[in-house]
Amino acid sequence: MKLRYMIIGAGGVGGPVGAYLSKSGADTTLIARGKHLAVLQEHGLTLVSGENERESIPVKAIDMDGFLAAREQGAPAPDVIFVCVKGYSLADTVPFIRKAAGRDTVVIPVLNIYGTGRALQAELPELLVTDGCIYISANRIAPGVIQKHGAICRIVYGLPSHKTDHPVLQQVETDLKNAGIDPVYSPYVERDTLLKFAYVSPNAACGQYYHAKAAEMQHPGEVRDSFVRLMKEVVALADKMGIPLESRRGELVERNLRILDALAPTASTSMQRDMEAGKQSEVDGLIYQVVRLAEQYGVDVPEYRKIAEAVKKQTENK
């Protein structure tokens, strides 16, 4: 089965995914805009890793209006849409997806915010929407250029039915493997996406509070201790939500510390980078939402409350 892929959002998440799929020979179209789009169309997408490692990969890229115009002229719909935008941009993608998709198009959101798949499914009841997330550390450093921090690139996706027999999603698994991406077609996607959130949310919260990059969290001390406390609070919240994340004490903490320690020392979260640049960020979904859920489920999260209050003051003072 030959699938047509669309990647909405060609930044630090969608850029590498689209480049790897394109390089493997998969029919892949990246949705981008402005100068970034122009560079992608003329020079391809350049991935930078390590000290001086650069690879430019030819990609197909177009903006939303251009793709919809092509659809009106009879261009085929994508079989699979990877939604790789920031959480605050999700609502803006819904009208485009409605027009760009075909009847059988499958939508796979891989955002940082927990619960995105179910929220998007409610907006797109006519389509099949999975839950999903991605493990990657990368950011756009110039139009057409993505800086990768570390080698990890893992996409987790699945359906709330817990079935893993959907033929398109099975083919996605094969295509991602062929592209050098680690796929997890999960029968327990609610747990697995919350597992990711239990890493990325504490990482973002701790990094923002201490203005720290990975290096400060990779060594014993107050910053790493805070990261651990935040993870334990998410585990306690998950237990109350009926989605236990651990089979034995400390399992999640040990796992996430291994992920953290494998990052390049210079790695930071996209939320940190956006907040430092004065841009819109995912702070609401990554930090404040945890405090709201804790209040809803009656869970004490003192580390999250401390950081949420401090971050609100940081943003109010800018």
For residue 259, what pLDDT band results from cuts at 50, 70 and 90?
A: confident
CB 164 within 8 A of CB 185: yes
Burial 156-168 (b: 16+ CB within 10 A, else e): bbbbeeeeeebee
Torsion of CA 52, 215, 208, 197, to 10 degrees: 90
pLDDT of residue 248: 59
Q: How far is CA 80 from the centre of its chain?
A: 16
Q: Model pTM?
A: 0.88
Question: Which one, of 211, 245, 57, 78, lies nearest residue 145 by Cα?
Answer: 57
Q: What is the side-by-side strand order in the sheet with 131-135?
A: 131-135, 154-158, 182-185
pLDDT at 115 over 90: no
* Backbone φ/ψ region at 278: left (φ over 0), alpha (ψ -120 to 50), beta: left
For residue 184, what pLDDT band results from cuts at 50, 70 and 90?
A: very high
Residues 6+ apart with CB under 8 A from 151: 49, 262
Question: Which one, of 44, 20, 49, lies nearest residue 32 by Cα?
Answer: 44
For residue 270, what pLDDT band results from cuts at 50, 70 and 90?
A: confident
* Residue owning tokens 């990975």: 214
Which structure tokens are listed for 129? 């929407």
Question: Which one, of 218, 230, 239, 232, lies nearest residue 286 by Cα?
Answer: 230
* CA-derived radius of gyration, the chain: 19
Exposed/middle/buried for residue 103 (C-beta within 10 Å: 0-12, 13-18, 19+): exposed
pLDDT of residue 263: 83
pLDDT of residue 249: 61
Per-residue pLDDT, averaged over 269-294, amounts to: 91
For residue 245, what pLDDT band results from cuts at 50, 70 and 90?
A: confident
